[in-house]
Amino acid sequence: MSVLFLFIDGVGLGAQGPLNPFCDVNYRGFTAMAGDRNFTVDSPSFKNSEHIFRKIDANLGVEGLPQSGTGQTTLFSGKNASLKIGKHFGPFPHSGIKPFLKEESLFHKAQKMGKRCQFINAYPDIFFEKARERNRWSCTTLMAKSADLSLNSTEDVKEGRALTAEITQQAWREQLDIDVPHISPEAAADRLLEQAESFDLLLHEYYLTDKAGHSQEMKRAHQFLSTYDRFLWHLIREKPTDVTIVLSSDHGNVEDLSVKTHTLNDVPLFAYGPGAEVFSGASSIMDVTPGIIEML
């Protein structure tokens, strides 16, 4: 059995309305995730033996708007990072919560069980140069590095072992002038499924939804959501029976383009495949890592 953990940044469940991009387009993957219902705050929980959809809390009992550093650390460790430092913090992990990622992360827990883990995102050379120069790593890269996982590079993308952050490789071609082909979201999903054959736990991160939310641009939101939805829908339809998809987010954002900031909205928890029922009682992003570990 393999678990595909899909982390999608800045996606909450918002109210019906003209500034919620989920309300005027029928996104097949997001709709299927919610049990063939609208992907909004009004959607009820959905449960069967291999499909769980729940709205879970990302505020963690701490005042203020949730942020990426604390939200992602909580999501990837099961520890309340915001409560630990008494505030929400981001976008990078606060020094006071880095031990959760460096010693107690999902990858560390899975490895102690003898499970094979990988973070499938790849990074261009300029990312590594800047990260080393500043000694500042994102939550996912710090977690992966601390678990002795090699971060994927341009060569891994060219060899078909990794995915670029925006899924289709187009930004690498057009903005970074890196010689990689454009691929469809469906081809990217197939690559993820192929890599899942070699690992027990495979993590993918998509952050452009958070970028779209901060931009408050509906066109941009639909562009990034459409790409991800095609990717997600293909995974849902084509995953092998022994693969379970788990999807969640760190905080809300793109679901409410009336504000430039993050939101207080609940975020989705979607599990699809064997063992999904372990999440039937999940109530916050603190429950995601423990559920995955139980599933493994």
Is the domain covering 2-295 a CATH 3.40.720.10 domain?
yes
Contact 237, 195 (CB under 8 A): no
pLDDT at 133: 86
pLDDT at 281: 97
Burial 14-35 (b: 16+ CB within 10 A, else e): beeeebbbbbeeebbbbbbbbb
Residue ranges of domains in the chain: 2-295
pLDDT at 188: 98
Q: Tokens for 87, please give them.
A: 């505030």
pLDDT at 272: 99
Q: What is the largest CA-CA distance in the chain?
A: 48
Contact 107, 143 (CB under 8 A): yes
Say what the pTM is.
Answer: 0.97
**Residues ≥6 apart with Cβ < 8 Å to 104:** 77, 78, 79
Q: Tokens for 177, please give them.
A: 């002038």
Q: What is the mean pLDDT of each run of 10 residues along the chain (296 residues)?
A: 98 97 96 97 95 99 98 99 97 97 98 98 91 89 97 95 95 90 97 97 98 98 98 99 98 98 98 98 99 98
The Cα 182–Cα 256 span in angstroms is 30
The DSSP secondary-structure symbol of 47 reads E
245 three-state secondary structure: strand
pLDDT at 130: 86
